């Protein structure tokens, strides 16, 4: 059995969903219109017949029940164009006479109010009439009054109106299809504009996508621009790292080459130490550059489990500093993910906890929490702390991390650099016990976009 293939375009899908719904609603409206039209027509005719029956009853009561004295024929046939039938125990009147086979059976009926009569077998009589019957007593005499109207002509008028309604519905359906097509085309113009912008971006005509457009597309454009910023930053960082590395190792390599090429000079112990020193410089610089190249920064699709990672680091540092206590405080679940590269989060937590472990007296405390759309890391120790003026220099003492003096600043430059790449900030201060407390605040990626805090550092 063949399966209908779903449209591959958004326009086709919308039309496939909206057109059947529009046709169904139009058909339902047409059906309801016919039902309501028939019901309203019946109620209107029945109310008129009821009024005329009341008028006849009033005339009969005024005449004291003498129905032969009523001048009803001209009145009903020339003014109202309705048929009538009046019966008493002594006589019966039906006008016109051709309706008598339809109306006389109602004399013996007990039903009051409107009655539908369908009988196409009576010649010269309409096949469908609506009659209104009322019986009442005058001086102990039962009088029955019936007024009827031919519903066939009214039905023909209804059918004509209903047909025109169907024609108008079809025209409206055509207009609806055209409106849907125009509406869908206009609604998809931003998608076409985005596709054109991507083509121009690929060809190098533009460097970023214009963020103006419908509200539904702005987050998407923002994410694309953020991804472009991240890729551009990575490219610049890689080029800068290669340039810096080439300049850094060029002089030591030239010095080593010069020593090795000087065949007239013996390779004594002093020269050996000089070569080893130069090679150590090259090794340190390569290690520092490779370490920085591991920093991923804000990257789409990367995540880490902060609680699990923190527990692993605390266990390892607890083994390394067995005489000290490492405590974790958090309200995050074990399965809670943060949109941070795992290597970056490991560098941040590892450097902060390592510094705190080295300088603490007995205890290191780590706090992980989320507050106001931010990821928060707080590491505190009970060590000697850092003087007020020196707090401002932590993490800002140059890029060659291997040459920094030991202390609370060791590794903080790495932390500052990683956190800045995520649009966050690092604050250093003194805790309640006098030791150093480092607070890291990193906004979630959607918060960065909404507040325009993304910086390409």
List, for residues 341-365, the tens digit of each pLDDT value. Answer: 888 888 899 889 988 888 898 999 9
For the chain, give the percent of residues with pLDDT over 90.
Answer: 11
pLDDT the model gives residue 6: 60
pLDDT the model gives residue 288: 60
Answer yes or no: are the C-beta atoms of 380 and 435 closer than 8 Å: yes
306-451 shares the fold of 11-156: no
- Among 426, 441, 436, 414, which Cα is nearest to 363's? 436
Q: Is the pLDDT of residue 78 over 60?
A: no
List, for residues 433-445, the tens digit of each pLDDT value. Answer: 888 899 999 998 7
List, for residues 369-399, the tens digit of each pLDDT value. Answer: 998 889 999 999 988 888 777 777 776 644 3
Q: Is the pTM of this model over 0.85?
A: no
Domain ranges (residues) in the chain = 11-156, 218-293, 306-451
Q: Is the pLDDT of residue 307 over 90?
A: yes
Fold of 11-156: Beta-Lactamase (3.30.450)
Fold of 306-451: Heat Shock Protein 90 (3.30.565)
């Amino acid at each position: 059995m063949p399966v209908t293939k779903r449209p591959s375009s958004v326009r086709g899908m919308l039309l496939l969903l909206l057109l059947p719904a529009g046709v169904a609603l139009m058909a339902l409206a047409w059906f309801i219109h016919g039902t309501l039209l028939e019901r309203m027509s019946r109620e209107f005719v029945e109310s008129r017949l009821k009024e005329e029956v009341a008028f006849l009853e009033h005339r009969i009561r005024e005449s004291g029940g003498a129905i032969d004295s009523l001048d009803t024929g001209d009145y009903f046939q020339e003014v109202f164009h309705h048929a009538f039938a009046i019966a008493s125990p002594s006589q019966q009147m039906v006008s016109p006479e051709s309706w008598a086979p339809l109306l006389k059976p109602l004399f013996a009926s007990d039903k009051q109010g409107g009655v539908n009569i369908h009988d196409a077998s009576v010649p010269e009589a309409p096949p469908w009439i609506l009659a209104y019957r009322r019986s009442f007593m005058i001086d102990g005499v039962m009088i029955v009054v019936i007024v009827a109207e031919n519903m066939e002509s009214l039905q023909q008028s209804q059918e004509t109106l209903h047909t025109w309604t169907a024609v108008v519905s079809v025209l409206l359906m055509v207009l609806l299809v055209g409106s849907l097509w125009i509406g869908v085309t206009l609604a998809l113009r931003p998608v076409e504009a985005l596709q054109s912008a991507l083509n121009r971006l690929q060809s190098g005509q533009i460097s970023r996508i214009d963020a103006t457009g419908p509200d539904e597309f702005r987050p998407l454009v923002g994410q694309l621009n953020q991804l472009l910023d991240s890729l551009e930053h990575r490219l610049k960082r890689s080029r800068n790292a290669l340039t810096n590395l080439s300049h850094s190792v060029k002089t030591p390599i030239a010095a080593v080459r010069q020593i090795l090429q000087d065949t007239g000079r013996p390779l004594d112990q002093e020269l050996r130490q000089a070569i080893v020193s130069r090679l150590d410089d090259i090794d340190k610089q390569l290690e520092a550059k490779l370490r920085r190249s591991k920093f991923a920064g804000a990257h789409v699709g990367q995540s880490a489990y902060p609680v699990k990672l923190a527990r692993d680091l605390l266990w390892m540092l607890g083994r390394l500093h067995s005489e000290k206590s490492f405590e974790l405080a958090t309200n995050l679940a074990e399965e809670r993910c943060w949109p941070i590269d795992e290597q970056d989060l490991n560098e941040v937590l590892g450097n902060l906890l390592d510094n705190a472990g080295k300088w603490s007296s007995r205890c290191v405390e780590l706090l992980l929490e989320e507050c106001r759309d931010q990821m928060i890391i707080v590491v505190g120790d009970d060590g000697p702390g850092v003087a007020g003026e020196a707090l401002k220099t932590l993490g800002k003492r140059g890029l060659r991390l291997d040459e920094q003096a030991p202390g609370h600043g060791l590794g903080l430059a790495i932390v500052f650099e990683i956190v800045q790449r995520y649009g966050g900030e690092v604050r250093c201060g003194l805790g309640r016990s006098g030791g150093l407390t480092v607070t890291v605040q990193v906004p979630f990626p959607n918060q960065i976009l909404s507040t325009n805090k993304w910086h390409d550092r």
